[in-house]
């Protein structure tokens, strides 16, 4: 399999746009998912198939992909968006998570 990497931390001011990147050798050929995990809670699926949002996920969360890099964008970031964010990809017999990015909103 291959590795998927993310920056360990990102900071953003409330109301601004946060971007979290995810890179991996096969991401140009594989869809990426994004998950949000708030402190003490279970992860929640935010984005799947690079760009699609499950029902109930606010529109301020969006995903994109170009080449071997996927990006999660949070527009109009709220204090409540402070959390760990994980990208995830796959190969035919495994699921691969990035190491996670701690988003600080201050």
Partner 1 sequence: QVQVMESGGGVVQPGTSLRLSCVVSGFSFSNYGMHWVRQAPGKGLEWVAFISDDGSKKYYVDSVRGRFSISRDDSESTLYLEIASLRPDDMAMYYCARGGYTTSWYVIENWGQGALVTVSS
| Minimum separation from the CB atom of position 59 to partner 1 (A) | 19
CA atoms of 89 and 84, how far apart (whole Å): 17
Interaction between residue 53 and partner 1 (CB under 8 A): no
Q: Where are the beta strands (DSSP E) in the chain?
A: 4-5, 9-12, 18-24, 33-37, 44-47, 61-66, 69-74, 83-91, 94-97, 101-105
Interaction between residue 95 and partner 1 (CB under 8 A): yes
The stretch among 19-27, 42-50, 56-64, 66-74 that binds partner 1 (CB under 8 A) is 42-50
- Contacts of 31 by beta carbon, 8 Å cutoff, 6+ apart: 48, 49, 50, 89, 90
Out of 14, 15, 28, 54, the residue judged to bind partner 1 by CB under 8 A: 54
Q: Is 59 helix (H, G, I), strand (E, B) or coil?
A: coil
Interaction between residue 55 and partner 1 (CB under 8 A): no
Interaction between residue 25 and partner 1 (CB under 8 A): no
Interaction between residue 93 and partner 1 (CB under 8 A): yes
Which residues of this chain interact with partner 1, rule CB under 8 A? 31, 33, 35, 37, 42-45, 48-49, 54, 84, 86, 88-90, 93-100
């Amino acid at each position: 399999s291959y590795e998927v990497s993310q920056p360990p931390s990102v900071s953003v001011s409330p109301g601004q746009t946060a971007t979290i990147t995810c890179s991996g050798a096969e991401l140009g050929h594989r869809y990426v998912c994004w998950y949000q995990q708030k402190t003490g809670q279970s992860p929640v699926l935010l984005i799947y198939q690079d760009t699609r949002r499950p029902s109930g996920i606010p529109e301020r969360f969006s995903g994109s992909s170009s080449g071997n890099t996927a990006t999660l964008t949070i527009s109009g970031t709220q204090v409540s968006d402070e959390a760990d964010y994980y990208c995830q990809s796959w190969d035919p017999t495994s699921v691969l998570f990035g190491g996670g990015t701690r988003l600080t909103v201050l």
